[in-house]
Chains A and B, each alone.
Chain A
Amino acid sequence: MTTDFPAATLEAHQLWLAYQRTSVIEGLDLVLPAGRVTAIVGPNGCGKSTLLAGLARLHSPSGGCVLLDGDDIQRLPSRTLARRLALLPQQAQAPEGLTVAELIRFGRQPHQGWLRQWSADDQQVVHDALRAAGLQALADRPLDTLSGGQRQRAWIAMTIAQQTSLLLLDEPTSALDLGHQIEVFELIRHLADTGRSIVTVLHDLPSACRYADHLIAMLDGRIVASGEPSTVVTPALVRQLYGVECRLLPDPDTGSLLFADMRLAADTE
């Protein structure tokens, strides 16, 4: 395993996030493990995407702070932040005809400026991002001609080109079929192996258990459980989060959790 990136730690202290007067997250504390894949899970409307937006500074906190390696992200200049933390929002849209390589080039913008125009280094980074995402053969294809999985890999490649230690992804596999989901998850695992810290919102709990090192389970804007999936995910937690009864079996080969016999709990609220 090669680690190309310094470990980045992201923490939230007494974080409050609100839309107008409605608080979504009230006084949340959080420390994300460096160099690992963290999945934020929970039912719809539990505040997981809002939390991710807060961690990425898309959403300014109404109280508390988010610290990136000890620096308050609200105090960092935008471009500095974009060189340390990359974000892929949910269902990002590209204009028609934009090619894979053109999209990935946007990832270099935080590193460019008046005095630093496009360089051979940038070109190399784009090349590396294409390779990391397995998209070399598709570099000049317009995004709208690709499969869902390839397109999502291209977007992730754009964030790879930002060369940040920390990657935040909002539901990167929603709207993808199973094969394409696995395509994206394997890319995420591969990126974690290079030392990046990855935080991703997921709505699919079994995939989160399979691919994440660390799990944060949210309900009504609070964290109800966090830790290694195989230890924190229990039938009781699944019932609490989703109102679903299930049995959990360890995978005989990998030890990750398998979900069996899922059904609605009798007394769903």
Chain B
Amino acid sequence: MPMLAATTPSLRHFPGMGGLLSLLVLTCLASLLVGAGPVSPRDAITVLVGGGSEEARFTVTALRLPRTLIGLVVGVSLGVSGALLQAITRNPLAEPGLLGVTAGSAFAVAVMLVLGASAATLRVPVAQLGALGGCLCVMNVVRLRGVGSDPVRLVLAGAALSSLLAALTSLILLMDQRAADEIRFWVVGSLSGRRLADLIPVIPSLLVAGLLTVTMARPLASLALGERVAKGLGHHPGLVRLSIILIVALLVGGATAIAGPVAFVGLVVPFAARAIAGPDIRRTLWFCLPLGPLMVLVADIVARIVVAPSELPLGVLTALCGAPVLVAVVRARRLPML
């Protein structure tokens, strides 16, 4: 019965997933071998198989390895949160970086630093609270007449909020030299100079977000059929949206706390994932898992080598890659309905 086979649950078959995962493994390997410190790929391989000089060993295990792991976490967080935000706003352009969620996160951290706190452990929850504030602003704008139904207008509103928050962040840093010193390398968005210890405070919220996502995936998918249909299937759309906002705040806040504001990953990754996976958000989310880190790590590797021995900020490269996608999506005659 070919028809029955064709209607087996879609989560069982993921054409293309194997290829993406292999590509991701290769990218991780490249991230360990290339750039960030004066150790050649050949020397790095020697370290990986258990040899190498003291310096090469340090570069690979203390610089490149944490950077790669952080790239994985940041990529997953930003890719998944973009897909989630797009699902609840039903807007393919809803990207945490474009809508002010990331900016809210950065602003909250700047305020925290000015108020005198500098403990690295506080940074994560504060960034997440800032992201939550940004999310709530977005959802309020979505409810305004006309804005919610027009994807481009939502992005305009988000850009306005982002610029305002970025301006306020700069103002704060101008006024407070100590905060500026502490945060200067962070506000541009980069994976450079982060330590493994920066990753640890983010892990618990990642687990919570992951668990919540698994719980909410099914009702979230039904929201794509409209609020009334979702209710008819026994779901609570309001509760689903609230949970998703919480997940996005945890993920974007966590990623921003480690890497600083990085835009466009949440736009490009779900865009590619949807192209592969089709309209069901559950499949899209699975594909965001390899695609997110793939984009972040490739961008980071390029950031290390184009102007070596110095580096470009990661955010610059993701924007270079994301802006054309944004233009392409907007220029498409008809925005895809989510």
Contact of A87 with B225 at beta-carbon distance under 8 Å, contacts A96-B337, A109-B234, A110-B233 already known: no
CA distance A140 to B221 in the complex (A): 18
Q: Is the CB of B222 within 8 A of A127?
A: no
A123 sits at the interface (CB 8 A): yes
Residues of B within 8 A of A93 (CB): 225-226, 337
**Per-position contact with A for B297-338: 1 when CB-CB < 8 Å, else 0?**
000000000000000000000000000000000000000111
**Per-position contact with B for A115-131: 1 when CB-CB < 8 Å, else 0?**
00010000100110010
Contact of A78 with B229 at beta-carbon distance under 8 Å, contacts A98-B279, A140-B6 already known: no
Residues of A within 8 A of B232 (CB): 56, 58, 82, 86-89, 159
Residues of A within 8 A of B234 (CB): 77-83, 109-110
CA distance A160 to B166 in the complex (A): 52
Q: Is the CB of B4 within 8 A of A127?
A: yes
Q: Is the CB of A139 within 8 A of B6?
A: yes
Contact of A109 with B233 at beta-carbon distance under 8 Å, contacts A89-B228, A98-B280 already known: yes
List which A62-101 residues lie within 8 A (CB) of chain B: 77-83, 86-89, 92-98, 101
Q: Is the CB of A123 within 8 A of B7?
A: yes
Q: How many residues of A contact B (CB 8 A)?
A: 41
Chain B nearest CB from A139 CB (Å) reads: 5
Closest to B277 in A: A97
Chain B nearest CB from A255 CB (Å) reads: 35
**Out of A92, A97, A112, A114, which one reaches B225, CB within 8 Å?**
A92
Residues of B within 8 A of A26 (CB): none
CA distance A79 to B222 in the complex (A): 14
Residues of B within 8 A of A123 (CB): 4, 7-8
Taking Cβ atoms with an 8 Å cutoff, the residues of B that contact A are: 3-4, 6-11, 215, 218-219, 221-222, 224-226, 228-229, 231-236, 278-280, 336-338
Taking Cβ atoms with an 8 Å cutoff, the residues of A that contact B are: 56-58, 77-83, 86-89, 92-98, 101-103, 105-107, 109-110, 112, 114, 118, 123, 126-127, 130, 136, 139-140, 159, 162
